[in-house]
Each structure stands twice: as C-alpha cells, then as structure tokens.
Amino acid sequence: MVNLTIDDKQVTVAKDATIFDAAKAAGIRIPILCHDKKLHPFGGCRMCLVEVEQMKGRLIPACTTPVTEGMIVRTTTDEIMTARKLVLELLLLKHPLDCPVCDAAGDCDLQNLTYEYKVNANKFTDEKFRWDIDYENPLIERDQNRCIHCGKCSRICDEIVAFGAYSFVNRGIEAKISTPFDEKLDCEYCGSCISVCPVGALIAKPFKFKARWWALNKVKSVCSYCGTGCQLTLGVKDNKVLTTVYDEDQGFHNGQLCSRGRFGYQFINSDKRLTTPLIKKNGTLVPASWEEAIDLVVSRLSEAKKSDPSSVAALVTPRLTNEELYLFRKLFKDVIGTDSIDHSAGYAHKALTEGLKESFGITASPSLIEDIQKTDLLLVLKSDAYETHPVIGFEINLAVKRQGVDLRILSDKSGKLTRLPDAKKYIHKPGSEILLVNAIAKSILDQNLADPAAQSLPGFDALKSALAAVSIEQISAAAGVPVEAITRLATDYAKAGKALILLPIGLGYPGHGSELTSALANLAILTGKLNKEGCGILILGEKNNSQGAADLAIHPTAGGRDAGAILEGCTSGAVKVLYIAGENPVVSYPDKAKSVKALESGAFVVVQDLFLTETAQMADVVLPVKSFAEKCGTFTSVGRNVQQIRKAISAVGQSRSDREITAELISKLSGAACGGSSAEIFTEIAASTPGYSSLSTDSLGDNGVIYPVVITPKLVPVVGVVPETEEGKFALLIGSSLYHCGTMSRYGEGPMLVCGESYLELGRTDAGKLGVSEGDTIKLKSAAGELNLKVKVGTRMPEGVVFVPYHFETSAINSVTAGNPVTWVTLSR
C-alpha cells in the first residue's frame, strides 16, 4: 500500500493506483473526459491535470501518473483551474454548439464541464469541422464533428470487445476517429462505444429525440436475455422504457452490455404485446375478461386433476423469475399432482440437471464468471460461447489480452474467440466432442498426469477401465484432430496451475447435454482442477434464469414426462391439458411438425406469454403477462448469482405477472389462499432450496449474492460415438446468432434491425463450388423437409459444414431438423 496526501487529505491506496484512482477513493472529484475504469489510462484530454509538490513547475495528468509514497497532490489551485478552462476552450474551438438538438444534452460531460468552469466565451476562433455524418448504421449514429478525440470508442472496441471498428487517422488538426478505409461503421453493434462517449459524437438511434436524460427515471434491474446476469439500468419516461443507461460501476461487467442488452429492450413496450386475455371460440381467438379466462382454465385443470393428474403437463420458460418458477412447480407438482413439467425442450438443461448432478452432486456450476480472468488455461467448448453469451465473451477477451490466459477452443467451426491473440483452436468434425474429450482424458492417464487424489474418488477405476479401450489414433481420424494436438492439449491442461472449462448450452446445441458435461467434468476431477480459484467448469445456461430453473427442479423428478414425451402425450391423447408459459415450441423446439401435431391433437392448450407467438396462436386460452420491467423478483445467473429485478413501469394493458396468475390458480384449485409478495415467496424458496438458505431479498442488494455449493466429485465413464457421415451431403449445425437469444429477441427493434431474418452460413470454398455469393438464395433439403435461405459467406465454417440460427419462424430451421447434434443436408441453387 502507498500513503499520499491529496488536498490535505490522507489517502492509502494500492501501489498500482494512479492519482486519479486515489482521489476517487478519497471522494475527491477530478474532472476527466477520456477515462473509464474498464480501460487503460490514456491521458488524452488533459482535463485531469493536477499539481504534485515533488514535481513543481509543471502540471501532470492524474489518470496516467502512478502514486508514490509521500506524494502531496493539489487538484484545485488557480493554475490548475486556468489550465482546465483553457483545455475546454480548445475543445470547443471545433466543437459545434448544437446542444439544443444533440441527443447527449444532459448526459454530456463536455457540456457539464463547460457549465461548471463558466466557459462562456472563447479567446480562440476557427472554422468548425464539416465531416459527413454517418447515418447508415442501423443502431449507431456517428457525428465526427462533435468528437473530442478522447479515444474511448476506439479503446473499448479494441481492449474489451476485441473488434477494432475504430482507430485514429490523420494527424494534427485533421486527425479524427475513423473506420477501416473510412467506410460506414460495420461492427458487432454492441453499443459499447456509445456508452463511453463523453459527448454526442456517438448516439443510439433507437433513442434519438425520445427524451432528455434528466427526464428519465432510472431503475436498476437485470437483463432478461441470456444467462450471464448483466445488470442494467432502464431509462423510463411516461411509463415506457426508452433506453438503457450506462453505469460503469454496475455489475462484474462494469456496465458493459451486448447488442441484445443495450438495444433489445423495445419488446417491453412493443405494439405487438398482448393486452387482454383471449379465448378460442368457433376456431378464433377473441378477447375475454380475466374472470372468464381463469374460470375456464380452472375448470379444465380441475377436471383433469380429478380424473387423472398425469394427464396434465406444463412447459415453462426459464425466463420467469425464481418466485414464478417456484409457484409453477407448486401448482403442478403439489396441487395438481403431476410430475410432467419441463423447460427448454427437455434437453437444453440436462448439462445442469443431470451432468453436473451426477459428476458433482449439484445442479449448478462449481465455478464463477470471475474465474475466467483468474485462470491460467481456459478451455472453451464451441466458439459459439461468444455468440451465446457476448459479455462473457468480453471477459474472455480481457482474460487473454490483459491477463495472458492461455486460450484453447475445441470447436466444430471458427469464430470470434479463435481470432484472439495466441488462441489455439482445435477444429473437429461435427458431433465428435465427447470422443475428443475422452481422448484428452485417456492421454492424461497415459502420461501419468492425473492428480493422485483422483485415484481414491468414486468412479476412478470404472473410468480408467472404460478409457483403456479408447484409441487416441482412431479418435484422431474420426474427429479430424491430429494425435499430437490432442496429446499436447492434454499435457498443457493437466500441467496448468489453474484451468477452467466453459460449455455453452441451449436449444441450439442439442449435443451439449449430460454426457458431454460429465466427460468434461472428468477432466477437471482427474487433474485436481476443482475447489480453487480459476478452476473447474462453468456451464453457460442459455436464458436469464436457466440456473434458477435448474435450482428449483423445473423438470421431471419422479418419473413424469419430459418435454418431448409431453408433446408425444398430446398427440397420443395421454395428455389432456397442456399449460405453456413463455415457451414457443413451434419455433424453438426441434421437429416443428411434432410440436404442431401435438398442439392440434385436441388437448386443451393454455398459453401465457408476452406476445401472440406462433404457439399462442394455436392455444385455446391465451393469458397476457408482464415483462421483467413490470414486476419484481429474482433471477439466478451463470455462476450462481441471485439478483433482483425491480418494477420500472406499470403493466401493459391488462397483463398480469406469471406470479399473480399462478397464485390465483393455486388458490382456486386448492381452496387455500396463495398470495404474498415476491419477497415473501423468496423466503419460502430460501427455506426449501439448497444453497439459498442464507439468502433474503434484503441481503441481495444491488449486486446480488452468489450462493455457496459443496461438491462431491465422481468420475463418470461416458461413451463417445463416432458421428455418422453421409457422402455428398453437408453437415448442418444450428445455434445462436450474436444478436439474438431464443425467440423473444425477434420482438426487439435493435436485434431485428441488425439480423432480421434467418440465413445459411458457409465457407468460401463451398460457396465457390456451389456458385453462390453473399445474399443469394439457396435450397436446403434434409430427410424431414426443405426450405430456402439467404446465403452468408464467410471464413468461419470448415469445408462441408454449414450453420443456420434457430431463432426465426420464417424459414424455420426446426422444420428440417429433429434434435440431432448434426443434420445431413443437400444444398442446391
């Protein structure tokens, strides 16, 4: 630690702190324009000039000057104030004074400092810039005339996003921030540059001219898209969420959001939102009162409960709060008496609910997001981890670029992560993941690199016996990865001081289930990479509360039907009443024909959702629900962080929360009162859910609480199967687009502006052989059907492999797939 004095105040800070850091820690404000806590110090704006007694005769920038023992600092002398005012005058020399029409007014650091330092005249004169304004980007408007050259947009895009969309070009008075070849901005559309821009040079087009910043009510919440658990602040005016507000002190991610979190909020106030209950009469859904709709639902549930409780089933989205999931479980498992309740198509949660359960005795990851930057070697399964969880992708970028983490990617395609500095990629044939992981485990044993403690753990002898039959050479040939690469990876993983494994899961990744998870867990257990910082395995749940759904056992636990069997039960007549909350199996579950047939089979179908989805259109009763912005509750994110969401706006139309609807159904079906606030229900959850016992809504605060786990490691032999191939056909992979999460993002303006339709991605070699170019239409045909898709040509896909995202109804990929990790297809013009 270092002791220094700032404005006569004694301060003690870490030895790697700067003067700016020390002043902030002491509550002393130093003005600055080019600094953000996530970025390396830059020292470009010179607003943070201070005086150090030991360095008399010159002013120095506080943001780049490290503290030293005994340093005496002054921050507000007359000389300093004059210098800062001069800096502002120079910045305003070229800056347009268009504050009345600038969208940053009220949130502009330059404007605020100009007011604070009373810069009401300028001794300098010059012509203003006349740079062309870039209006072409769908989400980001770029006006270089307002730019003050702080460099924060370029630095955040390089240091954290690792895209590099901006850089300084030219010199002197002609210098500016530009894009490659000075073309229009074409990037990942995460909006990180907007969040750190201190002026109005970069603005969010969806928010342009919607409101002044001072008129916004700012409400802290948690993103409702993927499972990362990013905290965000909603900007609210006139009962509408108009934007997200940047806060560099919010969450582990310091306010950093992806394109979905920053620009996908428009679904909250979408004109497509359901506003009243609907009941099907004479084959048409018509508006109804809540009383009529609830009474009808209660009547059908009650009849089924009396005759055969197992004839009732439910599909529930993991986007609901913990409190709502808890009540759903109570309604179906306790009140009605059916164990047929499931989510995520029945397979997209098995990595947690079966794989980790068998290998570690828990249904949650033993590792945390923070471990990503604390490990020595990071093994990522699928380059798609960046697409499924972009902010975790930012953490990987930081781990590699700042912490020197050794990144290894085992994937069936290339991607953003494979382009990081010194990243080593192992591109394998689709569907061979388990084979490769088993080969790595085999090599660890063959090289005697296993942790001695692992030999006494349950399952060691069984695993050793199973791996004895494994041939690394045969797996190398089947997977397309050289033997030397497999052996080297095994050696490096085992010898690393700390090693962490990441596995994304979700509806787009049917192969990422319990078997692959147990195979990966075997690596961590064999090498002793558990129960310590920077080690273990981190499962990346797809939805915002996927972890909560696993914690609360929203799946069959006593022999009930899983999601696939539920749909089959509808078709066979075994399921008489199907209750769907937030799931959209017609679009997102595999085998669309199976889902449609089940919903048309005659079962009584109830859907509660935000929108009249493709599934809701086939229901007998549709109940409108509130979005996350209209209710309170908790989500549990990747890494076991339990966080609060807060009500930001009133209900849209007559919508009710899933908690209110489910509580009323419980009361009417059981005859016992069921109500209470979210906080009261959370108390019930804490009393009955492992790991939650010490939690309360009061203890969660703004940052949430990571609940503890105790693991009981067990080695589980897993048999890998050589993937089948079909001569002359392409291997079709499905998964997530960077701009979408599930099917809900289709109702967000931002994601749809960037990626508004499905596409087929293939490599340049295959495109050349097929004679297709970017934007052409191609016919894809499988054993299940065919569809036409627009072509996207790139460098990610290996020869013979194509990719299609699963989010869209038009050209829905689930009409030609049936839930297999790989689907073999033909392509033609």
In a domain, 722, yes or no: no
pLDDT value of position 171:
87
Q: Is the pLDDT of residue 126 over 90?
A: no
At 275, list the tokens.
Answer: 């506003």
- Residues 309 and 369 grouped into a single domain: no
Q: Report the CATH number at residue 45.
A: 3.10.20.740
- Residues 300 and 394 grouped into a single domain: no
Q: What average pLDDT score do residues 534-545 get?
A: 98
> What is the Cα–Cα distance from 19 to 16, expressed in whole angstroms?
10
Closest CA to 344 of 742, 662, 820: 742
- Residues 332 and 429 grouped into a single domain: no
Q: Is the pLDDT of residue 406 over 90?
A: yes
Final residue before a domain boundary, out of 513, 540, 567: 540
- Residues 308 and 357 grouped into a single domain: no
> What is the Cα–Cα distance from 286 to 276, expressed in whole angstroms?
10
- Residues 475 and 489 grouped into a single domain: yes
What whole-number percentage of the chain has pLDDT above 90? 94
Final residue before a domain boundary, out of 76, 104, 127: 76
Q: What is the mean pLDDT of the chain?
A: 96
- Residues 638 and 739 grouped into a single domain: no
Closest CA to 734 of 421, 447, 412, 462: 412
In a domain, 411, yes or no: yes
* pLDDT tens string 640-668: 999 999 999 999 999 999 999 999 999 99
Per the structure, the count of domains in the chain is 4
In a domain, 164, yes or no: no
CB 38 within 8 A of CB 254: yes
Q: Is the pLDDT of residue 204 over 90?
A: yes
Q: What average pLDDT score do residues 155-165 get?
A: 96
In a domain, 716, yes or no: no
Residue 127's pLDDT band (boundaries 50, 70, 90)?
confident
- Residues 529 and 615 grouped into a single domain: no
- C-alpha dihedral over 713, 344, 310, 565, to 10 degrees? -90
Burial 713-723 (b: 16+ CB within 10 A, else e): bbbbbbebeeb
Q: Is the pLDDT of residue 172 over 90?
A: no
Which residue's structure tokens are 């530009």? 178
In a domain, 9, yes or no: yes
Closest CA to 692 of 362, 416, 220, 285: 362
Q: Is the pLDDT of residue 481 over 90?
A: yes
Residue 27's pLDDT band (boundaries 50, 70, 90)?
very high
> What is the Cα–Cα distance from 25 to 41, expressed in whole angstroms?
17
- Residues 458 and 326 grouped into a single domain: no
- Residues 447 and 565 grouped into a single domain: no
In a domain, 143, yes or no: no
Q: Report the CATH number at residue 648.
A: 3.40.50.740
Q: What average pLDDT score do residues 68-72 get?
A: 95
CB 401 within 8 A of CB 39: no
pLDDT value of position 714:
98
Q: Report the CATH number at residue 763.
A: 2.40.40.20
Q: Is the pLDDT of residue 533 over 90?
A: yes
pLDDT value of position 128:
86
- Residues 483 and 435 grouped into a single domain: yes
pLDDT value of position 114:
95
* Cβ atoms within 10 Å, residue 334: 11
- Residues 535 and 554 grouped into a single domain: no
Whole-angstrom Cα Rg for the chain: 28
Cβ burial, residue 356 (10 Å; 0-12/13-18/19+): buried
> What is the Cα–Cα distance from 552 to 537, expressed in whole angstroms?
21
Residue 699's pLDDT band (boundaries 50, 70, 90)?
very high
Q: Is the pLDDT of residue 158 over 90?
A: yes
Final residue before a domain boundary, out of 659, 690, 706: 706
In a domain, 202, yes or no: no
> What is the Cα–Cα distance from 523 to 436, expressed in whole angstroms?
12
Full domain range(s) for residue 52: 2-76
Q: Is the pLDDT of residue 723 over 90?
A: no
DSSP conformation letters of 305-326: HHH-GGGEEEEE-TTS-HHHHH
Q: What average pLDDT score do residues 779-800 get?
A: 96
Q: What average pLDDT score do residues 213-218 get?
A: 95
pLDDT value of position 121:
86
Closest CA to 687 of 317, 341, 326: 326
Q: Is the pLDDT of residue 590 over 90?
A: yes
Q: What average pLDDT score do residues 375-386 get?
A: 95
Check residues 489 and 57 and name the one with the higher pLDDT: 489
Backbone φ, ψ for residue 65 (5° rounding): -95, 115
> What is the Cα–Cα distance from 388 to 372, expressed in whole angstroms?
16
pLDDT value of position 32:
96
In a domain, 369, yes or no: yes
- Residues 522 and 428 grouped into a single domain: yes
* pLDDT tens string 312-370: 999 999 999 999 999 999 999 999 999 999 999 999 999 999 999 999 999 999 999 99
pLDDT value of position 124:
85
Strand, helix or coil for residue 623? strand
Q: What average pLDDT score do residues 822-827 get?
A: 97
pLDDT value of position 521:
98
Residue 57's pLDDT band (boundaries 50, 70, 90)?
confident
Residue 501's pLDDT band (boundaries 50, 70, 90)?
very high
pLDDT value of position 125:
84
At 659, list the tokens.
Answer: 């908690």
pLDDT value of position 174:
84
